[in-house]
Amino acid sequence: MSPSQSHSQKRAKSGGKMKSGATFGSVFLAALLAGPAWAGTVKSENFGTTKDGAAVHIFTMTNNHGLRAQVLDYGGIVCAVEAPGRDGKMANVILCQKDLAAIEATGPMSALTGRYANRIGKGVTIDGKHYDLTQNPNGVTLHGGPPPYSRRILQTVGTFQHATDAGVTLRLMSPDGDQGFPGALTIDVTYTLTDNNDFRMEYKATTDKPTLINLTNHTYYNLAGNGSGSVENQLMTLFSDQVTPTDAFQVPTGAFTNVAGTPFDFRQPTAIGARIRSTDPQMLIGRGYDHNYVLRKTKPGALELAARVTDPASGRTLELLTTEPGVQVYSSNNFNGGNVSAAGTTFRATDGIALETQHYPDSPNKPNFPSTLLRPGETYSSATVMHFTVQ
C-alpha cells in the first residue's frame, strides 16, 4: 500500500468515537439532515496587544466533527489543533505558550519560519552576486536570521467558509533586503480546517527579484496534548530512507546517509525515545534528533505522506502530508523549562516533536540538492496537511 493510498483509506475509516458515543459519521449525517453541510465556523477575536502596542488577533476554525484549530496573525502561530482520542476526549496536540505575554517573552513556538527555514552556511550567491545574510559566529544563518518572521504581525487577507472547509489567509510583505535577501516578497499563508479532519497550511509567494525561499511552520506536536510531558513513548514512522548528515555546526555536508542500521531509522513505527540517547556522532551534534530527512516522492511536488505519529495511550494519530522534499525532525532538545504551556506546565527536552516540512538546509550552496531559487514571474507554492485519525 502506498502512503497516499493509506491516507485515503484511513479517511474512509475515520469513525473514531466522539462525545456521547457519537461517531464522526453520525455527527456528519446529523448535520446533513439539519441542513447544508457547512464545515463549521471561522471567527476572529482580539488576542491581546504586543508590548509595542499592536493588536493581535486569534482565528478559530471548527468543523462538524468537533475539531477546532486556532491561529494568530502574530507570526502565523498555530496555537491549537484539537483532536479526539479513542475515548472521545479532545486535546490540543500543538505546543504553544499560555498567552501573548509569554510568547513575546520567550519567543514564539509553532510559528511561520522563513525567508529560509533551517540553516544556510556562509551566505548565498545568486546570479553571481554574493549575499552574506546575517551569520552567527560559526557562519550560520538560522531560519532566515533577524528580524524573524515568527515575530511579525501578518495582514488578514480574509476568512472563508465553504461547504467542506473554513479558514483564513494571512499575508506577509517581506521587503527587498529583508534579512539580507534580495527581492521584495509577497507571501500568502492559508490555514484551512476541513470536514475530512484535515488541517492544511498552504503557502504561495512571488518576488520582484531573483531570491531564495524555503518556508515552513515550526510546529511542535504532542499527540497526548500540549503540556502533557515527553513524547518519547509515542510511535513515529517516517517515509524516508535517507538523511542529510551535517558538519559540527549542523550545516549539511551535501552527502546522503541511509538510515538503515542507524538511530535515524523510523521506516517502521518506533518509539521516538527508543534511540534518542545514542552515541552516534550525528546524534551527539544535534543532542538528539535535529536532522533533515529525505522524503520518498513519486514525483517532485506530490502531496504525499511524510510522517505518522501515534500516542498509544489515547490512540490519537497524526498523518502529515507535504509537497516538500524534506522534513526536519527536531526532538525539542533545547527546551529547558523556560516556556510555560496553557496547562501550566513547563516545556522540557522531548516534550514535543517538531516536523518541519521544507526543502533541504543549505540548498543554495549544494548543487545536488533541490533548488530553492524563485524568480520574478514564478509562484512559490507549498502545502502541508495534518490528518487526524484514532487507532
Rounded to an integer, the average pLDDT of 136-150 is: 96
pLDDT of residue 40: 80
pLDDT of residue 39: 58
More reliable by pLDDT, 272 or 4: 272
Rounded to an integer, the average pLDDT of 139-167 is: 95
Rounded to an integer, the average pLDDT of 124-134 is: 97
pLDDT of 342 over the 70 cut: yes
Task: Supply the residues annotated as catalytic.
Answer: 218, 356
Rounded to an integer, the average pLDDT of 122-143 is: 97
% of the chain with per-residue pLDDT over 90: 84
pLDDT of residue 22: 38
Q: Average pLDDT of the chain? A: 90
pLDDT of residue 331: 97
Query: Which residues, listed in sequence order, are joined to residue 55 by a DSSP beta bridge?
Result: 49
| Topology adopted by domain 3-390 | Beta-galactosidase; Chain A, domain 5 (2.70.98)
Per-position b or e across 21-48, b if 16+ CB within 10 A of its CB: ebebeebeeebeeeeeebbbebeeeebb
Report CA-CA distances (Å) from 220 to 59, 116, 119, 330, 337. 19, 19, 18, 9, 15
Tell me how far apart the alpha carbons of residues 67 and 83 are, in angstroms, rounded to a whole number: 6
Q: What is the dihedral of CA 279, 282, 284, 287, to 10 degrees?
A: -120
pLDDT of residue 12: 36
Model confidence at 337, in pLDDT bands (50, 70, 90)? confident
Tell me how far apart the alpha carbons of residues 365 and 121 are, in angstroms, rounded to a whole number: 8
> What is the number of other CB atoms lying within 10 angstroms of the CB of residue 148?
19
pTM of the model: 0.89
Domain ranges of the chain: 3-390
pLDDT of 209 over the 60 cut: yes
pLDDT of 65 over the 90 cut: no
pLDDT of residue 341: 87
pLDDT of 21 over the 70 cut: no
More reliable by pLDDT, 24 or 183: 183
Rounded to an integer, the average pLDDT of 283-303 is: 97
Q: Write out pLDDT tens, residues 23-61.
A: 333 333 333 334 344 558 999 999 999 999 999 999 999
% of the chain with per-residue pLDDT over 70: 90
Model confidence at 339, in pLDDT bands (50, 70, 90)? confident
Tell me how far apart the alpha carbons of residues 70 and 90 are, in angstroms, rounded to a whole number: 14
pLDDT of 321 over the 60 cut: yes
More reliable by pLDDT, 21 or 376: 376
Tell me how far apart the alpha carbons of residues 231 and 221 are, in angstroms, rounded to a whole number: 9
pLDDT of residue 359: 98
